[in-house]
């Protein structure tokens, strides 16, 4: 018996619609990250110029962690999409679940490492003295959020791998 197709066939029909169906989770993810950074800048700007140092300095540190999460999330989405295309829903679910577990564990590890090394990292980045304490607090809060951000990248990647369309037909 041939494998049962799972979800929608993304290989036929208008290209623009299929491209959007696969890309929308990544687009939403980028939009939310940009809005998050704009909100940080807005509120920190109300505290003064030295407060704006915090997102500027910590952005580089957090981007390293997030680039790692994006890469692993992309790997997971590739596996999910391959299993989906092959009509193997059990393996598809396993790949998604294992990606979630792996990135959650790595996210917690990076959070703990970031919390432990926050002060030395800011010293190495030559954070200005008048902004050091505030930037340290800000970086620690960013590090606490890393595991949650990793989970978000997994969700976004798996949604992209599934090609989750805006219209559902009752299947994955």
Q: For 67-109, write each residue's pLDDT tens digit.
A: 888 888 888 888 888 888 888 889 988 988 898 898 899 999 9
Q: Which of 124, 126, 116 is nearest to 146 (CA)?
A: 116
Instruction: Count other Cβ atoms within 10 Å, centred on residue 13.
Output: 11
Please state the pTM of the whole predicted model: 0.69
pLDDT at residue number 166: 38
Its sign, for the CA torsion 140, 145, 149, 151, is: positive
- Whether the CB-CB separation of 153 and 66 falls below 8 Å is answered with yes
The mean of the pLDDT values for the chain is 81
Sign of CA dihedral 28, 8, 151, 61: negative
pLDDT in tens, 20-59: 877 777 788 778 878 987 887 888 888 888 888 888 888 8
Whether 13 has a pLDDT exceeding 60, the answer reads yes
Greatest CA separation for the chain:
70
Angstrom distances, CA of residue 13 to CA of 4, 70, 161, 162: 20, 29, 18, 17
């Amino acid at each position: 018996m041939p494998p049962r197709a799972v979800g929608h066939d993304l290989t036929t029909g208008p290209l623009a619609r299929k491209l959007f169906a696969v890309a929308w989770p990544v687009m939403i993810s980028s939009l939310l990250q940009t809005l998050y950074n704009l909100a940080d800048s807005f509120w920190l700007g109300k505290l003064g110029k030295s407060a704006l140092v915090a997102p500027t300095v910590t952005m580089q540190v957090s981007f390293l962690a997030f680039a790692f999460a994006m890469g692993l999330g992309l790997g997971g989405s590739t596996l999910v999409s391959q299993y989906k295309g092959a009509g193997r829903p059990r393996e598809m679910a396993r790949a998604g679940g294992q990606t979630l577990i792996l990135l959650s564990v790595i996210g917690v590890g990076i959070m703990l490492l970031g919390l432990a090394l926050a002060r030395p990292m800011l010293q190495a980045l030559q954070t200005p003295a008048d902004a050091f304490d505030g930037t340290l607090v800000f970086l620690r809060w960013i590090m606490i959020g890393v595991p949650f951000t990793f989970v978000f990248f997994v969700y976004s990647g798996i949604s992209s791998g599934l090609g989750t369309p805006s219209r559902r037909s009752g299947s994955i």
